[in-house]
Amino acid sequence: MPSRLGTLGLSEPDLSRHIAWDIGVAGLGLLLAQRLDAPFIAQRFSRLVIDCNRDPARADSIPAVSDGTPIPGNADLTDAERQARIDQVFTPYHAAIAAELDARQARGLPTIVVALHSFTPVMQAFERPWRFGILHLGGSAFSDAMLARLRAEPEAGEVGDNEPYRMDDVDFTIPHHAIGRGLDYVELEVRQDLLADAAGQEAIAEMVARVLPAALEDLTP
């Protein structure tokens, strides 16, 4: 949390829950970047400060309640307080992504955007059976290839097609940075219990680092 916001009025147990961060994704992203020699851009501030995968014009980009938990520090924000979070957290993050994509385009490098997220095994008392999810808006050849490749992996288990979340007008990053530039993409969701420790992150990174290039090869004529 930015120091000026304290804990947003939350206890440590709440700050450790999925409502505050995508558990395990930072470790997974770094491991994949190392294995694939790829850039990894991560948001270091909690999504309770501002959700950087939502349009900041949406009221729920700074949630007053998350999975049934009130967020006192997000209640009754002024327009100026909301704008400060956009300026200090949201805008620099997306500017970094845009700068990387601009640099790759200038160098003539082919690019696929990979967005990483993790999801809680239980949401509103519903136990989610999926271990992975591929989110897309349709028309993404790479997302289709990743879905097929993951489903062919014996250890992958159940892989959701737009499950447990569906990519829609809530999502910001992929529509803005990938689809908006005409780039192919995949938005990968991993169940958080698979990424709960370093060993789990290593295991998932090893599999995903194998599947990503294989899916790309599937698109090569």
Q: Summarize pLDDT for 65-88 with one digit per residue, the tens.
A: 998 899 999 999 999 999 999 999
User: What is the domain class of 3-218 according to CATH?
Assistant: alpha beta
Task: List strand residue ranges (DSSP E) for 90-150, in order.
Answer: 112-119, 122-123, 126-127, 132-135
Say if residues 112 and 186 touch (Cβ distance below 8 Å): yes
In whole numbers, what is the pLDDT of the chain averaged over residues? 95
Residues in the chain: 221
Residue 122 has a pLDDT of 86
**Single-letter amino acid, residue 123:** M
**Confidence label for 89 from pLDDT (cuts 50, 70 and 90):** very high
Q: How confident is the model at residue 182 (pLDDT cuts 50, 70, 90)?
A: very high
As a whole number of angstroms, the distance between CA 97 and CA 74 comes to 26
**Is the Cβ–Cβ distance between 208 and 116 less than 8 Å?**
no
Q: Strand pairing partners for 187?
A: 115, 135
Instruction: pLDDT band for 132, please (50, 70, 90 cuts).
Output: very high
Q: Domain boundaries in the chain?
A: 3-218
